[in-house]
Structure 1
Amino acid sequence: MYMTGLLVGSLMGGAISDRYGKRLLLVVSAVLQAVTALCSAFLLFSPFHLAARCIAGITCYGINISSFSLGVEWSLPRYHIWPPALLSFSFSLGMMSLAPAADLCPSWLHLHLVTAVPQLLCLPLYL
């Protein structure tokens, strides 16, 4: 369901960012991502958990496309190569940190909380 959400987000993300603005898409996607990540830790009924994961996938792509575009637009022309490189690098670091986090967490609930709490703490940075 998460990958289905990424597919839907990739199809809709560009159109939404062009219509409503990249910064608004970034803030709304970050808030929804944090809320669905936190909710997926406590949703025990499978359809609700799967729906939350699908929404998390959609918002993940909203964050990626808007931060990529804003990073390139807000940088000087001679530094246009750095925002995509730094975003890809930070994404790779995040994916690599999931393996130790999953190994150290005793249950899925704890793993979802470990991934959701930093997102909640970073929400004020988007504003």
Structure 2
Amino acid sequence: MKILNLSNHTLTLEQINELDQQGYNEVVELDQEDKKAWGQLVPDTYKEVCDNILAKYKADAIHLAGFPPATVYVALKSTVPCLYAYSERNCVETPMPDGSIDKRYIFKHLGFYRY
């Protein structure tokens, strides 16, 4: 089965493996134009962008993340299951020699869940 990656993120190998175990053995990525549009959604145009993407890409499910109104719109309008990736976020703070703090977030994928 196919899953559309409707997000601004590249799926990790761990995520791809989990999707494969769930039967989604093909990840469909947005083309460059649609990826740019998805990454720049605004209140006045997000519905049009979402409608265009839903009409253009055919998949058995959607990995959905991004601009909150758009994700709600797609999840409610879609006729296929929509999944979100849940991650644990751990912050690591490292004091630097100049007194500043280097702050990094480490994300650990914990699973896909249905909207």
> Considering the TM-score relative to the shorter chain, is it more than 0.5?
no
**TM-score category, normalised to shorter length:** under 0.3
Higher relative contact order (CA 8 A, sep 6+): 1
- Give the alignment's TM-score, normalised by structure 2: 0.26
- Give the alignment's TM-score, normalised by structure 1: 0.24
Which has the larger share of strand? Answer: 2
Which has the larger share of helix? Answer: 1
Say which one has the larger Rg.
2
